[in-house]
């Protein structure tokens, strides 16, 4: 048992080591563009995060795509999850398979096949094609998360609401939706992080537009500006802060 | 206030008939218990009354008003669910106010407070259901339903999840609250003691039908069917044949012995009958000479004995092999035979009853102890 | 009598599920199913066509044979690397998930946050951080050389080791979370009961803990293996041409060589391989609940 604790500690360290390196490198003044070594401490990268051309624009674009894709995928996925868990209808089995398959399909295949569709339809590649692509692979994940939440819900709660004079619409609004909310929020967060972090599918369907992961990929060939690590560190800090705040607020209630 | 009337109410799930052409009138303001073993259709009946289950056939009326086609939220009927079904995302006050809000009642705060006081939960309005004990959750469920002043309150095994002491306390409590608010309570339970403690009228259900309906004492003292005789308490039922229907009495023959029962306690129409007597109505004597005059008796051997504090339970094997259950209250008087001792069991014929028996059916006693081996059935 | 009153809401209810699923169904049909079917058609096009001249449908099943003949090493390598990474993830993830689920007490939530913390920053940025850690001039390579665990001219970066390690790193949380979910449901008293019934810790694990956490093991291995086998970022950033995986081949067939029929055939082979492996695995593991 003690052995498993040691292993657990080492595994956690392994998971967090690169994050520490990212934070460290954000304060690095590299000696040349292709160097990955820590050369000299500096605050210059933090003072000028938007220095490298296109970096901040790509972050902003990724955020916009992420938000749009999240909203759409969450709405579509939540409706699907309700349909699949609450109703029996013909074609439920095949639909379940259709929802599962995108998760089992490699991203290269998802990205390339969609590109072929856009090319065949002469759809100009760019912002919207990437949004469409992201919604497509995020929907399944939202469905899975929301479905799990709905499956764990006591059906008597909705019966109780109906019994207490709530019409079907009121039952949905005052009982079902609030109870499903944690699942919907979790699904939305997952969708956003999948979209914001996606490189492969975006790379196929973005045309000349650049998202943040695409910017990182591109600069990895030419030498990474240290500001990329600033963005990475800032993202990490914001996420940690959000988690801490929500945890404390929940505890305060 | 109006009566709840069920007419020919039927519910089938595929091939299975859960509720079979039920006719029932629950008088307004009464405390009514639907008692039966699990799977007898009592909960399905309740859910149909609440509108949560659609009847296959039949009608549900409140007074003269047909409510069969109304959705649950359109019925002036509320339910206390078995698992309480409290809304976990609302606090206690929010749960209790739920129905009032939906019906557009303004100023529900005072109502809610008054109701929480009635169920002795004053001051706990801001708590979440998860922070309450089982008994407290049960009270919230009750308050949440009662605050709407429904015409009928349906209770689905409301005490099933509580421990024994709490159950006893809540039984008294529920009865007090029902008397106070005067609303019709329909209480579904499988616990005969619970049903008898609280209800004015008990309906015993079996296999989708009502076997008998009446005041608890009526049901217990003079059951209608062998099922009621053995579901509500326990009975010794001996297979007998009616041999004579005299003035004021009916005589039967069982295993070459002749017994009699007052004519008013005979439900047997044909010759095949069960002679029934409750274990606590049966007494033990050392010898036939000590049997009081007018009592019927059987001689036997004590095959099992257990001491249960308030009394002693015996099994006495009759000469033809049937074991009769006897309960002797621990009054400090009377005869307490040893295991294996020869005894005479006797009873006042006025305490016996006769029920219809399927021709060919044997004795129907419920053994209190595992059957001893080597005894022919 | 009351039949009509009851039937009216039922008819509306029958329409509801279709209204709920329609938008999502359409999206997945148009942007997932149609493209995949079209990709299947593309894989059978005349291999001699080109993007500029267009392709003719010649039902060229030979595309598959050609693709496999040319790229079977990358195929095998992908399966090998992904399989290896999955096994290592399981070996590393299980103790971590067990400790968090059963032994962490009030630290449980903090530890869970630490497991998902890497997700809080970009996947590519983290992979590039590994490039810094494993660099030839980096401290880790230096340390290993000083300890004589690495030859003086030995490398960490651009080796199969680096690629597999990168895969393990990237997909480890996908292994830990489902394992945690099923281990957390495991009643601690069962372990005590097993110990009480004379089971050694090892036997308790084999006969109680492991069987009960099987759903988590199955979910975790699938969530790790499926994305790992198609991944090409780790191979591209941490490896060399000699370590390239099938994802790299498909990517360049589509975007560099512009050989669409072959790229499509390779994609379909990859999908088929994954579906076959997953189906066989799920059958053998004896739990269908994931599908």
A177 touches chain C (CB under 8 A): no
Residues of chain C in contact with residue B51, where contact means CB-CB under 8 angstroms, are none
A170 touches chain B (CB under 8 A): yes
Tokens of B227: 């099922």
B50 touches chain A (CB under 8 A): yes
Q: State the residue for tokens 């759409």.
A: A72
CATH 1.10.3720.10 fits A53-213, yes or no: yes
Which among B52, B73, B79 has the least Cβ separation from residue A166? Answer: B73
- At B250, the pLDDT band (50, 70, 90 cuts) reads very high
Q: What is the pLDDT of residue C90?
A: 94
| Contacting residues for C279 by C-beta, under 8 A, at least 6 apart | none
C232 touches chain A (CB under 8 A): yes
- Identify from A156, A164, A170, A181 which residue to disrupt to test chain B contact, counting B C-beta atoms within 10 A and taking the largest count: A164
CA-CA distance, B108 to A4, in Å (whole number)?
A: 56
Partners of residue B296 on adjacent β-strands: B347
CB atoms within 10 A of CB B122: 12
Interior/surface letters B154-186, b for 16+ CB within 10 angstroms, e for the rest: bbbbbbeebeeebbeebbebbbebbeeeebbbb
Closest chain A residue to C42 measured between Cα atoms? A116
Closest chain B residue to A168 measured between Cα atoms? B73
CB B77 within 8 A of CB B151: yes
Task: Report pLDDT digits (tens) over B205-246.
Answer: 999 999 999 999 999 999 999 999 999 888 999 999 999 998
- At A177, the pLDDT band (50, 70, 90 cuts) reads very high
B215 or B334, which is more confident?
B215
Cα–Cα nearest to A172, from B213, C16, C237, C266: C16
Residues of chain A in contact with residue B89, where contact means CB-CB under 8 angstroms, are 178-179
Is C247 close to A108, i.e. CB distance below 8 A?
yes
C120 touches chain A (CB under 8 A): yes
Domain boundaries, chain A: 53-213, 223-253
- What does the radius of gyration of chain B's CA atoms come to, in whole angstroms? 25
CB C27 within 8 A of CB A140: no
CA-CA distance, C42 to C254, in Å (whole number)?
A: 12
- At B73, the pLDDT band (50, 70, 90 cuts) reads very high
- Identify from C28, C107, C279 which residue to disrupt to test chain A contact, counting A C-beta atoms within 10 A and taking the largest count: C28
Dihedral (CA of C146, C152, C156, C157) sign: positive
Residues 277-296 of B with CB under 8 A from A: none
> What is the count of residue pairs from A and C with beta carbons less than 8 Å apart?
248
Chain C: nearest CA to B256, how far in angstroms?
57
CB A80 within 8 A of CB C22: no
Q: What is the pLDDT of residue A251?
A: 67
CA-CA distance, B347 to B283, in Å (whole number)?
A: 6
Cα–Cα nearest to B152, from B204, B188, B205: B188
| Contacting residues for C1 by C-beta, under 8 A, at least 6 apart | B59, B68
Q: What is the pLDDT of residue A36?
A: 67
How large is the angle between the packed helices C246-255 and C62-98, nearest 10 degrees?
A: 130
Which among C23, C117, C227 has the least Cβ separation from residue A76? Answer: C23
Whether pLDDT at B375 is above 70: no
Of the candidate ranges B247-251, B326-330, C177-181, C241-245, the one whose mean pLDDT is the lowest: C241-245
Q: What is the pLDDT of residue B58?
A: 94
Q: What is the pLDDT of residue A253?
A: 55
Q: What is the pLDDT of residue C144?
A: 86
Closest chain B residue to A159 measured between Cα atoms? B52
Is A11 close to C96, i.e. CB distance below 8 A?
yes
- Identify from A76, A106, A245 which residue to disrupt to test chain C contact, counting C C-beta atoms within 10 A and taking the largest count: A106
Is A22 close to C121, i.e. CB distance below 8 A?
yes
Is B85 close to A166, i.e. CB distance below 8 A?
no
Task: Report pLDDT digits (tens) over C172-215.
Answer: 999 999 999 888 888 878 888 887 787 788 888 888 888 888 88
In a 10 Å sphere around its CB, with 0-12 CB exposed, 13-18 middle and 19+ buried, how is residue B287 labelled? exposed
Which among C38, C111, C255 has the least Cβ separation from residue A117? Answer: C38
Closest chain C residue to B53 measured between Cα atoms? C6
CA-CA distance, A76 to C24, in Å (whole number)?
A: 5
Q: What is the pLDDT of residue C192?
A: 81
- What does the radius of gyration of chain C's CA atoms come to, in whole angstroms? 25
A109 touches chain B (CB under 8 A): no
C122 touches chain A (CB under 8 A): yes
CB B349 within 8 A of CB B296: yes
Residues of chain A in contact with residue C120, where contact means CB-CB under 8 angstroms, are 19, 235-236, 239-240
In a 10 Å sphere around its CB, with 0-12 CB exposed, 13-18 middle and 19+ buried, how is residue C211 labelled? exposed
Residues of chain C in contact with residue A39, where contact means CB-CB under 8 angstroms, are none
Residues 47-86 of C with CB under 8 A from A: none
| Contacting residues for A45 by C-beta, under 8 A, at least 6 apart | A26, A27, A28, A29, A51, A226, A227, A229, A230
Partners of residue A9 on adjacent β-strands: none
Q: What is the pLDDT of residue A1?
A: 55
Q: What is the pLDDT of residue B371?
A: 35
State the average pLDDT over residues A42-60: 87
Task: Report pLDDT digits (tens) over A73-122.
Answer: 999 999 999 988 887 778 888 888 899 889 888 888 999 899 989 988 88
Q: What is the pLDDT of residue A35?
A: 66
A196-to-A70, A201, C120 alpha-carbon distances in Å: 10, 11, 11
Q: What is the pLDDT of residue B267?
A: 92
Which among C1, C2, C9 has the least Cβ separation from residue B71? Answer: C9
Q: What is the pLDDT of residue C2?
A: 36
Whether pLDDT at A202 is above 90: yes
Q: What is the pLDDT of residue A252?
A: 62
Is B59 close to C2, i.e. CB distance below 8 A?
yes
- Identify from B69, B72, B74, B75 which residue to disrupt to test chain C contact, counting C C-beta atoms within 10 A and taking the largest count: B69
- At B373, the pLDDT band (50, 70, 90 cuts) reads very low
Domains and CATH numbers, chain C: 72-290 (1.10.3720.10)
Closest chain A residue to C290 measured between Cα atoms? A100
CA-CA distance, A175 to C34, in Å (whole number)?
A: 38
CB atoms within 10 A of CB C260: 23
Strands B201-206 and B31-35, bridge-based pairing: parallel
State the average pLDDT over residues B112-121: 90
Residues of chain B in contact with residue C6, where contact means CB-CB under 8 angstroms, are 54, 68-69
B161 or C189, which is more confident?
C189
Closest chain C residue to B51 measured between Cα atoms? C6
H or E element at residue C89: helix C62-98
Residues of chain C in contact with residue A88, where contact means CB-CB under 8 angstroms, are 17
Q: What is the pLDDT of residue C286?
A: 62
Is C1 close to B59, i.e. CB distance below 8 A?
yes
Which among C17, C32, C230 has the least Cβ separation from residue A87? Answer: C17
Neighbours of chain B (3+ CB pairs under 8 A): A, C
Neighbours of chain C (3+ CB pairs under 8 A): A, B
Query: Quick one: how far is CA A38 from the chain centroid?
Result: 30
Residue B214 phi/psi, 5-degree rounding, is 170, -175
pTM value is 0.81
Which residues of C lie closer than 8 Å to B, measured between beta carbons? 1-2, 5-6, 9
Task: Report pLDDT digits (tens) over B262-315.
Answer: 999 999 888 999 999 999 999 999 998 999 999 999 999 999 999 988 999 999
In a 10 Å sphere around its CB, with 0-12 CB exposed, 13-18 middle and 19+ buried, how is residue B92 labelled? buried
Residues of chain B in contact with residue C9, where contact means CB-CB under 8 angstroms, are 71
Q: What is the DSSP letter of A28?
A: B
How large is the angle between the packed helices A212-222 and A55-86, nearest 10 degrees?
A: 140
Q: What is the pLDDT of residue B332?
A: 84
Q: What is the DSSP letter of C205?
A: I
CA-CA distance, C24 to B373, in Å (whole number)?
A: 68
Residues of chain B in contact with residue C1, where contact means CB-CB under 8 angstroms, are 59, 68
Strands B31-35 and B184-189, bridge-based pairing: parallel
Closest chain C residue to A228 measured between Cα atoms? C125
Partners of residue B155 on adjacent β-strands: B80, B187
Residue C175 phi/psi, 5-degree rounding, is -85, -45
CB C155 within 8 A of CB C141: yes
B83 touches chain A (CB under 8 A): yes
Query: Quick one: how far is CA B375 from the chain centroid?
Result: 32
Q: State the residue for tokens 């370590």.
A: C243
A163 touches chain B (CB under 8 A): yes
Side-chain-side CA neighbours of A170 within 13 Å: the count stands at 18
Q: What is the pLDDT of residue B181?
A: 87
Which residues of B lie closer than 8 Å to C, measured between beta carbons? 54, 59, 66, 68-69, 71
Ranges of chain C whose pLDDT falls below 50: 1-9, 288-291
Closest chain C residue to A129 measured between Cα atoms? C31
Tokens of C38: 């079209």
Q: What is the pLDDT of residue C51?
A: 67
């Amino acid at each position: 048992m003690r052995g498993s604790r040691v292993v657990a500690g080492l595994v956690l360290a392994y998971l967090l080591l690169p994050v520490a390196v990212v934070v460290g490198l954000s304060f690095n003044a590299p000696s040349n563009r292709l160097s990955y070594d820590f050369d000299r401490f500096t605050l210059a990268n933090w003072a000028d995060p938007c220095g490298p051309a296109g970096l901040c624009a790509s972050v902003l674009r990724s955020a916009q795509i992420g938000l749009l894709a999240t909203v759409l995928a969450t709405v579509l996925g939540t409706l699907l999850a309700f349909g699949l868990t609450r109703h029996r209808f013909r074609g439920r089995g095949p639909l379940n398979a259709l929802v599962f398959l995108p998760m089992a399909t490699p991203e290269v295949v998802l990205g390339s096949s969609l590109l072929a569709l856009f090319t065949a339809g002469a759809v100009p590649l760019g912002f919207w094609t990437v949004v469409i692509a992201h919604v497509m692979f995020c929907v399944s994940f939202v469905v899975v998360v929301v479905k799990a939440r709905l499956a764990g819900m006591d059906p008597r709660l909705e019966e109780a609401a109906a019994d207490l004079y709530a019409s079907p619409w009121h039952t949905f609004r005052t009982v079902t939706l609030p109870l499903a909310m944690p699942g919907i929020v979790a699904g939305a967060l997952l969708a956003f992080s999948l979209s914001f972090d996606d490189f492969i599918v975006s790379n196929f369907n973005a045309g000349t537009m650049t998202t943040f992961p695409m910017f990182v990929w591109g600069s990895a060939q030419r030498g990474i500006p240290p500001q990329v690590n600033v963005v990475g560190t800032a993202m990490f800090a914001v996420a940690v802060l959000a988690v801490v705040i929500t945890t404390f607020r929940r505890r305060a209630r | 206030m109006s009566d709840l009337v069920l007419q020919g109410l039927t519910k089938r799930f595929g091939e299975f008939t859960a509720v079979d052409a039920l006719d029932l009138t629950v008088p307004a303001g009464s405390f009514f218990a639907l008692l039966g073993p699990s799977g007898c259709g009592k909960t399905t009946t309740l859910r149909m009354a609440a509108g949560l289950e659609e009847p296959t056939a039949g009608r549900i009326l409140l007074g003269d008003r047909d409510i069969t086609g109304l959705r649950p939220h359109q019925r002036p009927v509320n339910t206390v669910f078995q698992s309480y079904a409290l809304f976990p995302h609302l606090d206690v006050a929010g749960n209790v106010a739920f129905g009032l809000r939906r019906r557009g009642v303004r100023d529900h705060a005072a109502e809610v407070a008054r109701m929480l006081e009635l169920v002795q939960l004053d001051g706990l309005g801001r708590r979440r259901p998860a922070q309450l004990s089982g008994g407290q959750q049960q009270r919230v469920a009750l308050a949440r339903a009662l605050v709407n002043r429904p015409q009928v309150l349906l209770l689905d095994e409301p005490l099933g999840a509580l421990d024994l002491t709490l159950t006893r306390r809540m039984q008294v409590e529920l009865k007090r609250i029902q008397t106070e608010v005067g609303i019709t309570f329909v209480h579904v339970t499988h616990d005969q003691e619970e049903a008898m403690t609280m209800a004015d009228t008990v309906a015993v259900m079996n296999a989708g039908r009502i076997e008998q309906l009446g005041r608890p004492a009526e049901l217990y003292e003079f059951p209608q069917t062998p099922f009621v005789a053995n579901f509500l308490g326990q009975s010794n039922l001996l297979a007998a044949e009616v041999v004579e229907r005299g003035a004021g009495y009916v005589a039967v023959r069982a295993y070459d012995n002749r017994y009699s029962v007052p004519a008013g306690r005979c439900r047997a129409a044909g010759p095949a009958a069960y002679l029934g007597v409750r274990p606590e109505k049966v007494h033990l004597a050392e010898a036939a000479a000590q049997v009081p005059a007018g009592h019927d008796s059987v001689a036997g051997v004590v095959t099992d004995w257990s001491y249960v504090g308030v009394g002693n339970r015996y099994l006495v094997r009759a000469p033809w092999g049937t074991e009769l259950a006897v309960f002797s209250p621990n009054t400090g008087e009377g005869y307490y035979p040893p295991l294996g001792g020869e005894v005479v069991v006797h009873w006042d014929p006025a305490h016996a009853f006769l029920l219809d028996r399927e021709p060919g059916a044997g004795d129907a006693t419920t053994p209190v102890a595992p059957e001893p081996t080597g005894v022919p059935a | 009598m009351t039949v009509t009153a009851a039937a009216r809401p039922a008819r509306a209810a029958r329409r509801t599920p279709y209204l709920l699923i329609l938008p999502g169904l359409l999206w997945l049909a148009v942007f997932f199913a149609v493209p995949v079917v079209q990709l299947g058609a593309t894989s059978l096009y005349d291999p001699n066509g080109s993007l500029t001249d267009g392709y003719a449908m010649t039902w060229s099943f030979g595309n598959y044979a050609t693709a496999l003949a040319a790229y079977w090493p990358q195929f095998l390598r992908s399966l090998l690397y992904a399989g290896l990474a999955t096994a290592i993830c399981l070996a590393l993830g299980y103790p971590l998930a067990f400790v968090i689920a059963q032994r962490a007490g009030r630290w449980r939530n903090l530890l869970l946050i630490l497991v998902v913390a890497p997700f809080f920053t970009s996947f590519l940025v983290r992979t590039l951080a590994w490039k810094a850690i494993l660099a030839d001039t980096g401290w880790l390579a230096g340390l290993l050389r000083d300890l004589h665990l690495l030859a003086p001219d030995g490398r960490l970066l651009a080796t199969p080791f680096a690629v597999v390690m990168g895969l393990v790193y990237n997909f480890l949380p996908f292994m830990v979370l489902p394992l945690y979910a099923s281990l957390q449901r495991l009643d601690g008293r069962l372990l005590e009961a097993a110990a009480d019934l004379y089971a050694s810790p090892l036997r308790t694990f084999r006969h109680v803990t492991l069987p009960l956490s099987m759903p988590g093991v199955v979910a975790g291995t699938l969530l790790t293996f499926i994305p790992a086998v198609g991944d090409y970022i780790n191979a591209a950033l941490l490896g060399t041409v000699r370590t390239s995986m099938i994802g790299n081949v498909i990517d360049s067939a589509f975007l560099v060589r512009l050989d669409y029929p072959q790229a499509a055939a390779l994609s379909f082979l990859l999908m088929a391989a994954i579906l076959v492996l997953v189906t066989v695995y799920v059958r053998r593991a004896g739990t269908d609940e994931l599908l």
